[in-house]
Structure 1
Amino acid sequence: MKKIKGRMDESILVCVYYGPNGERLIRRGHKLAQIMNCPLYVLTVDQKAYDEFDAEKSGYIERWEELCNELDVDEFIVRDNERSSVKAIKEVAHNLNITQLVIGQSPQNRWEEITKGSFVNVLLREMTFIDIHIVSIDRTLKSEDDTMYEKGVRGFLQEDGDTYKLRFTRSNDCLYEGIFYKEIGTDFNNGVFKFVSKKGKTCQLHITEDTVTAKMEEPPNIK
């Protein structure tokens, strides 16, 4: 049984999209909810139907749901088959009596209007009496050994003999789609490739000059 929140006149909605920044937004919203001692909800919106989500999207949703359970979030909401993200957010906010909205500012996600300011302006027009918190997202990735990486870019993993090569163009030979983080200060494609396996498991591979140099945690299934 969930603990009854102290302030029911306030409620927070965190909007996340696919990518490594979703977890950070959820944790930010959770900290805000703890300070205000109020209900917390997490929402993700997609134009596709849920059963059409690929392995990467399904993996992110699974991880976010686990995190929401871990942080005792009141509800994790998936709105699929939506033509308008603003309309979906507005409906959820209205139904849950939301007073605080948390969104991320990053050019890598589908909330791309945020970077131009138009998305926020639409939200402000559509949802009065709601405070909107725009969280700036770091464009670099830092590893445990303090190695710094550039902003992640979309990449693909392709089988090449006994190993696997990093590619930046989709083809029928690509096994996985993910995000490549290039090491800062190198002229070659050295860095880290992150993707979600067909079993929904998040995997991380080290790349040296376009080639995977670490053993894959799960053998690719190309059937």
Structure 2
Amino acid sequence: MTSMYNESILVCVYYGPNGERLIKRGCKLAKMIKAPLYILTIDHKPFDELDAEKVFYIEQWKKLADEHKDAHFIMKDNEKRPVSKVIAEVARKKNVTQIVLGQTAQSRWQQITKGSIINDLLHDIPFVDLHIISVARYIRNDEGIYEKGVRAYLIKDGNQYKLSFNHTKDSEYEGIFFKEIGTDFDNGLFRFMKGTETLQVQVSDGIVTDFTNVDVSSAMSLNEED
């Protein structure tokens, strides 16, 4: 693919509900200027040591990359170098001219690198434009705030689905359950892939009655802990 502006775009994503939003922003920008798109995530642990939630997000990002014909997913695991150095290396190798970075990733990676990623990138790759996107760190909507997601499954039960935390032969959908804070019951959101579509559906007392997508748009303070 030849970019009409000789551009290429790198989207940096970290685990959480906002990676998809950043990727879609990058896809939109890449399509507009007809540029190749690279999606990068970095982890200091080896891939086989990642928990189920992180693996789930990586699988989603790969699927989103596959849906965009000129997108390429890059996973840098077991990475001990500062994150800014890894981003800069990928940017140079792929001739990247624009980087999309979320505030979530910036905040988290600052904790890892003990410094400012933005300043380091500006120093290491001054020829690249940086797009800093404001994103949410937690799932939250008008009805409540949700805990960190855990791996879960939906099992068909008549005209509805039961939430399960154990995989069985009857499990039809695999995803992440975000439990609503302040309840003793399994109330919250279940996030999963249905075909090529990512859905977030309401769970009430461990039951999903329909697959109406729940719009999650607002966010908690970026100063909160994961």
Identity of aligned residues (%): 41
Alignment partners' CA distance in 2, 1:123 and 1:32: 21
Question: Which of 11, 20, 37 does residue 23 from structure 1 map onto?
Answer: 20
User: Is 1:148 equivalent to 2:142 in the alignment?
Assistant: yes
Which residue is 1:65 aligned to? 62
Which residue is 1:55 aligned to? 52
Question: What is the CA-CA distance between 1:65 and the residue it aligns to?
Answer: 0.8
Alignment partners' CA distance in 2, 1:22 and 1:52: 21
Q: Secondary structure at the match of 1:67?
A: helix
Question: What is the CA-CA distance between 1:34 and the residue it aligns to?
Answer: 1.8
Alignment partners' CA distance in 2, 1:40 and 1:87: 19
Q: Secondary structure at the match of 1:57?
A: helix
Assess if the C-alpha contact under 8 Å between 1:141 and 1:149 holds in 2: no
Question: What is the CA-CA distance between 1:155 and the residue it aligns to?
Answer: 5.7
Alignment partners' CA distance in 2, 1:151 and 1:121: 33
Segments of structure 1 that go 5 or more residues without pairing to the other structure are 167-176, 216-223
Q: Which moved more, 1:81-90 or 1:104-113?
A: 104-113
Alignment partners' CA distance in 1, 2:86 and 2:105: 21
Question: What is the CA-CA distance between 1:5 and the residue it aligns to?
Answer: 3.2
Structure 2 CA distance for partners of 1:76 and 1:24, relative to 1, 3 Å: same
Alignment partners' CA distance in 1, 2:151 and 2:39: 31
Alignment partners' CA distance in 2, 1:108 and 1:141: 18
Question: What is the CA-CA distance between 1:72 and the residue it aligns to?
Answer: 1.8
Which residue is 2:157 aligned to? none
TM-score (norm 1): 0.65
TM-score (norm 2): 0.65
Assess if the C-alpha contact under 8 Å between 2:42 and 2:79 holds in 1: yes
Which residue is 2:102 aligned to? 104
User: Is 1:93 equivalent to 2:91 in the alignment?
Assistant: yes
Assess if the C-alpha contact under 8 Å between 1:41 and 1:77 holds in 2: yes
Structure 2 CA distance for partners of 1:49 and 1:140, relative to 1, 3 Å: closer
Q: Which amino acid aligns with 1:74?
A: A
Assess if the C-alpha contact under 8 Å between 1:154 and 1:178 holds in 2: no
Structure 2 CA distance for partners of 1:26 and 1:203, relative to 1, 3 Å: closer
Q: Which amino acid aligns with 1:192?
A: G
Question: What is the CA-CA distance between 1:122 and the residue it aligns to?
Answer: 2.1
Map 1:134-213 → 2, pairs under 5 A: 134-138=132-136, 148-154=142-148, 180=178, 182=180, 188=183, 191-194=187-190, 206-207=203-204, 212-213=206-207
Q: Secondary structure at the match of 1:111?
A: helix
Aligned alpha-carbon RMSD (Å): 3.9
Question: What is the CA-CA distance between 1:107 and the residue it aligns to?
Answer: 7.6
